Chain A
């Protein structure tokens, strides 16, 4: 449901509730009782549920993640004009949805992954507002990046399955699939965001959202 529609529903419910506050006597009639049930029980709970769902969906957007100042360099890294930067190459070539770029790679594709990602987001909020947030270049993942998140899209893709480097050693591909050899390990796709290590020569692409 679009945000404007939810907003209209919320305000409509508030206006009807206001009528009941001013004139509670209208609940004497049968229609008034039904109205009271709708306005003070069903509609508030329904409005709240769709509001929460809307916020949950919004929290998956790239703009939402980058609205924290600490994330600004990570947003900037998506525009680095260098294909060796993994995050930027995925974002600029729409290998991930541009409007959900952060969430697509940093969510957990196991069961309850979305819930885990939301709980992680709440933890970020706590640290941001009540804790001591680290400098952007010092931000680390809570746990090593799992290949499962890459394989969610790349598994079965020709470029992955038949890639020269992936097949140079027959043990490489099974090791990647078993998460025994990390995709982002040194010498492979190890240049991801690299915040704080860009240097002066890095250029930025000015396209995209």
Chain B
């Protein structure tokens, strides 16, 4: 199932963006410098936003009743 495999791929990419964005946010929370706010909003916010939008896109672009496989897709 190619559609479901691409959805899983998009979920992974989305998750990676969100994780990096959250790590940037965590760094900014412990970094008490004025520039931390700009990094949080500019970089962290952008990464989290891209991740969330990619997740939403993966939902609306998924084929009906698509299932996600974690390993290689078996094709007949």
Contact = CB atoms under 8 A, between A and B. Distances in A.
Nearest to A13: B22
B51 A40 contact: yes
Contact of A41 (B22, B52, B67, B69): B52
A20 B22 contact: no
Contacts of B75: none
B22 A47 contact: yes
A28 to B, nearest CB: 5
A5 B30 CA distance: 12
Nearest to B14: A40
Interface residues of A, number: 41
Given A7-B30, A44-B52, A55 B37 contact: yes
B69 to A, nearest CB: 6
B47 to A, nearest CB: 9
A129 B28 CA distance: 17
Contact of A10 (B29, B41, B45): B29
A52 interface: yes
Interface string A127-152: 01100000000000000000000000
A54 interface: yes
**How extensive is the interface on chain B, given as a class?**
35 or more
B29 A51 contact: yes
Contacts of B52: 40-41, 44-45
Nearest to A19: B15
Contact of A11 (B8, B18, B26): B26
B55 A54 contact: no
Contacts of B26: 7, 10-11, 14
B22 A25 contact: no
A201 interface: no
Given A17-B19, A17-B22, A45-B52, A125 B29 contact: no
A39 B34 CA distance: 29
B28 A55 contact: yes
20 contacts: A3-B29, A3-B30, A14-B18, A14-B23, A21-B16, A23-B70, A24-B11, A24-B15, A25-B68, A36-B55, A39-B15, A40-B14, A45-B48, A45-B52, A52-B45, A55-B29, A58-B32, A67-B33, A128-B34, A129-B35
Per CB-CB distance, the 3 closest pairs between chain A and chain B, nearest first, are A25-B70, A21-B15, A40-B55
Given A20-B15, A55-B40, 6 more contacts: A14-B18, A20-B12, A21-B19, A25-B8, A44-B21, A125-B38
Interface of B: 8, 11-12, 14-16, 18-19, 21-23, 25-26, 28-30, 32-38, 40-41, 44-45, 48, 51-52, 55-56, 67-70
